[in-house]
Every structure is written in structure tokens, then in C-alpha cells.
Homo-oligomer: A and B are copies of this chain.
Amino acid sequence: MGETRHTTYRKGEAIYDAGSRGGDLFKVCSGAVMLYTIDDDGGRQIIDLAGPGDLLHFELDGIVDHFAEALTETEIMISDGAGTLSDPAARAFFVDQMRDRLAMERQHITMLGRRTAQERLEVFLDYAAERMNSAPGHVELPMTRQQIADFLGLTLETVSRIFARWLREDRLHLVAPKTYRYQRSADGIGVLARAAA
């Protein structure tokens, strides 16, 4: 058994940076986290989102290749990797988590490679709703337009325009700050809908 501690991060606070040493396991207890990379041009690409129950990275010895930042107030359980994984059940969980993330990132690749801006945003709303455990047909989006754009490989203007259009067309309604009610598209063009099926 390894050391275990809990830490709380404020909205916008860095949890770890690319280049730091792995070894510890980070498990989200509450809140939401974004994982991202920064390239030479200073551009940010958000790789994935993580919610309660998710492990953030899987580096036991190596160097972590991405950044993790709290999107909301977030509580993280940090434990010693090697120690924790001496337990077979923990090891199985670790591998399952890796597999899940691999699947998510594959969906992300497909989305970025083959979808239009509008389709990406549709997928994103479903994804975010699921990831944040929102009530059906509702999404809470603790992300700025820029962050959404950085997840979807778009610009913030494009994201803003699509939101504006959907609000105009009554496909989307603002029910509270940062919270929307929306028409799930027909039967989900969603990469995710298919993944669930």
C-alpha cells in the first residue's frame, strides 16, 4: 500500500505540467479536469476531459507529456503509483482506465479527422453532458468558448457562431449561466452515441 493524500484545486489551477515526473496516480474525486498540450506556436489542444472516477495519467516511471488543469473546483486523490499497483484489483482498474481513455481518444481522432464544425459541436455537447453527469437533455459547460474550440480543433469565433445559430433556431436554450438545454440530434450523429450502443 502506498501513500495517499487528497488535494483540492481551484478553478483554473494547474494540477501538473508537461515535463514533470510521473510516478503518482491522480484520481478525480469531484469536479472536472482538462488535459491538454501546448505546441511551439503556443497553440493549445485539449486532449481530453476527466470527471469523477477518472485517472489523469498513466506514467509510472516516465515523464508526463501533457498538462492537467482544473475546470472547476476539483478534489483529487493522489497516491503512490508503484505501491498502489501492487494490488491486483488496482492494477485491473488502472488498465481499464487506460483502455477507456484510448477509446475516447480514438473517438476524438475520428471527430477531428472527419467532422464539420457543427458536427463536432454536436458530439461535444453529448460528450460533455455524459462526462459531467448532467440531467438528460441538459449540459453544464464549465468551459469558455476558447476552451471548447481548443478541444474541437476550431476557433472561438466559429464556436460562438454555431452557438448563436442554434439559439436562434431554438435548438438550444440557455437555462442558467453556462447551462444549456438542447435537442439531442435525431439519433445522435454522435460518435459517442455509437460508442455506447
Chain A residues in the interface with B (C-beta under 8 A): 37, 39-41, 43, 45, 47, 58-59, 62, 65-66, 94-95, 98-99, 101-103, 105-106, 108-110, 112-114, 150, 152-153, 189, 191, 194-195
Counted per complex, copies of this chain come to 2
Extra 5 A-B pairs, beta carbons < 8 Å, given A47-B106, A109-B112, A112-B153: A39-B114, A39-B194, A58-B99, A65-B195, A113-B152
Whole-angstrom distance from the CB of A102 to the nearest CB of chain B? 6
CB <8 Å contact, B99 and A99: no
CB <8 Å contact, B114 and A65: no
Please name the residue on chain B nearest to A150 by beta carbon: B113
CB <8 Å contact, A109 and B108: yes
Most buried by B among A45, A65, A66: A45
Contact partner of A113 among B40, B99, B114, B153, CB < 8 A? Answer: B153
CB <8 Å contact, B65 and A109: no
CB <8 Å contact, B37 and A106: yes
CB <8 Å contact, A109 and B109: yes
Cα distance, A98 to B57, chains bound together (Å): 12
Please name the residue on chain B nearest to A112 by beta carbon: B112
Cα distance, A105 to B189, chains bound together (Å): 22
Contact partner of A98 among B43, B45, B99, B112, CB < 8 A? Answer: B99
Please name the residue on chain B nearest to A91 by beta carbon: B91
Cα distance, A193 to B143, chains bound together (Å): 31
Please name 21 pairs of A and B residues whose Cβ atoms are closer than 8 Å in the assembled complex, sorted by A.
A37-B110, A39-B114, A39-B191, A45-B113, A58-B95, A65-B195, A66-B106, A94-B95, A95-B95, A98-B98, A98-B99, A98-B102, A102-B105, A105-B105, A105-B109, A108-B109, A109-B109, A109-B112, A112-B153, A113-B150, A113-B152
